[in-house]
Amino acid sequence: MLVILLTYPRRRKAVYVKQAPMSVLATWVGLGSFSIAAMIAYVLGGFEYPAAAYMSALTINFLATAFWILGGAGLYRDEANEYHAVS
């Protein structure tokens, strides 16, 4: 999951030529990657309550993905409106 999150900007640019909005990148890629990396470090560090770290990382990732989906839906809606306004 960490690799998928970190390579998202490059993969999106290769397909759509245009970069995702900075709010989406900061939330989904930044916050999502940080939460997973912190969870991996916490679990492999042998600290107490690794299940809580895992659940926290999943919750943060879920919320970041929900923001990404809602932000993407708004972005596509705006692009569709621009397309119909031009034609």
pLDDT in tens, the chain (87 residues): 889 889 988 988 888 888 877 877 888 888 889 999 999 999 999 999 999 999 999 999 998 888 878 776 666 566 556 555 555
> What amino acid occupies position 28?
W
Q: Which residues contact 67 (CB under 8 A, 6 or more apart)?
A: 24, 27, 28
pTM of the model: 0.70
> Nearest CA to 72 among 12, 17, 11, 31?
12
**Would you state the pLDDT for residue 82?**
59
pLDDT at 53: 93
d(CA 86, CA 38): 46
